[in-house]
Amino acid sequence: MGAALAACSATGPGVLSPEAATVKVAILVPLSSQGHPGLIAKSLKQAAELALFERDNPNLQLMVKDDKGTPEGAKAAAEDVLKRGATLILGPLYAKSVAAVAPVARKAGVPVVAFSNDRQVAGSGVYLLSFQPAPEVERVVAYAAKRGKRRYAALIPDDAFGKVVEPVFRDAVARTGGTIVALETYPASANALLIPLRKIGMAVAAAEAEGAPVDALFVPGGQEYLENVGRLLPQAKIDFAKVKLIGTGGMDYSNAGRDASLIGAWYPGPDPRGWSEFAQKYAKSYGQGPPRIAGSAYDAVNLAIALAGSGEGYTPAMLTRASGFAGIDGPYRLLTDGTTDRALAILEVQKFGATVVEAAPSAASPPAATVSGTGFSIFKIFQ
């Protein structure tokens, strides 16, 4: 990343003077964590560095700090980078760590752009760059309704993610004039999925026998959920030529179409071209493809660079500017409540990859701020 440059001169927390030579930005990631969290942390660090190298901005110094994957480690990391002059904190990854960092950063007047997808930690100077569930649910239900789907069944995980998704789904269906015919929840265990799935199948069969058939089955979640669901869906004996499968952005994983039951499913997400270009650049630089969340770190550093040259710094007005920012997944805006507003396309799972069936709103104007703001769960539990 190069040697540290001269210290930043500031007129106040998060506000740069015009003559400032160096803007110090910190990224907090759990680099010392073992297993999957450690690999995710490494990818976030590498994606951040890739953005810094590409933009080649000598006036921005990126400080990478290990937060140890714990609230205590994150708080200590934040205190350290603030003492060293950070005017913006990127990360942490986990919600509990974000909650630990927030008061420290708030006291210093420094904003936080975090990678958690738990809306509860957003606001009061904390912005979440992640995809969040509510807008995705609203988007896919609105599209399904536009395509004539009015009667729904749903199979929802019985965990933190599901508890956020279920009320949003109920509201979205009601708002579009639809009806929920059957809704079942299931625990994480694959063995426990079979009974709720069979109940859904019986409800779908009964509705068809009564002459009021189910139009769509909602199965939210990511790969960790859908691999089990896809494998067991045939047990429900549902005719997916008649019942459209719909989901959330977690369906956006490379081999979703290997489960024949998922082929043809609709889900919300960004246009895949931007991600594909980023993934190729990342793989060329580091020898392997990035996990999906790596794009958040890449976008975060690009946001930091874009505002570093503004002369106004990382003020709330600049972070939530109406013009928003360009990201690898399309245009987005940070909202005053700390959530992120994105333009989402509708995609359909294919045997190999996915195809866009309805484009995202035009990038010519920022996404509407009326979406009740919370993409998809990157891990099984909220980060």
The angle formed by the CA atoms of residues 159, 160 and 166, to the nearest 5 degrees, is: 85
Q: Which residues contact 103 (CB under 8 A, 6 or more apart)?
A: none
Using one digit for the tens of pLDDT, what is the confidence trace for 121-172? 999 999 999 888 899 999 999 999 999 999 999 999 999 889 999 999 999 9
- Cis before residue 92, ω within 30 degrees of 0? yes
Are 30 and 67 contacting, i.e. CB atoms less than 8 angstroms apart? Answer: yes
Which two tokens mark 165? 């998704």
Are 377 and 221 contacting, i.e. CB atoms less than 8 angstroms apart? Answer: yes
Are 212 and 218 contacting, i.e. CB atoms less than 8 angstroms apart? Answer: no
Residue 241 CA, chain-centre distance (Å), reads 30
- Domain ranges in the chain are 10-131+272-343, 133-269
First to last CA, the chain: 28
Supply the pLDDT for residue 25.
97
Site of tokens 């309805």: 358
CATH number at 10-131+272-343: 3.40.50.2300
Supply the pLDDT for residue 190.
65
DSSP assignment of 293-339, as one string? THHHHHHHHHHHHHHHTTSS-S-HHHHT-TT-EEETTEEEEE-TTS-
- CATH T-level fold of 133-269: Rossmann fold (3.40.50)
**Coil, helix or strand for 130?**
coil
CA–CA distance, 320 with 326 (Å, rounded to integer): 13
Task: Mark the ranges of the chain whose per-residue pLDDT is less than 70.
Answer: 1-20, 190, 362-383
Q: Which residues contact 259 (CB under 8 A, 6 or more apart)?
A: 226, 227, 230, 231, 233
DSSP summary character for residue 123? B
Which two tokens mark 18? 């015009």
Which two tokens mark 41? 């942390």
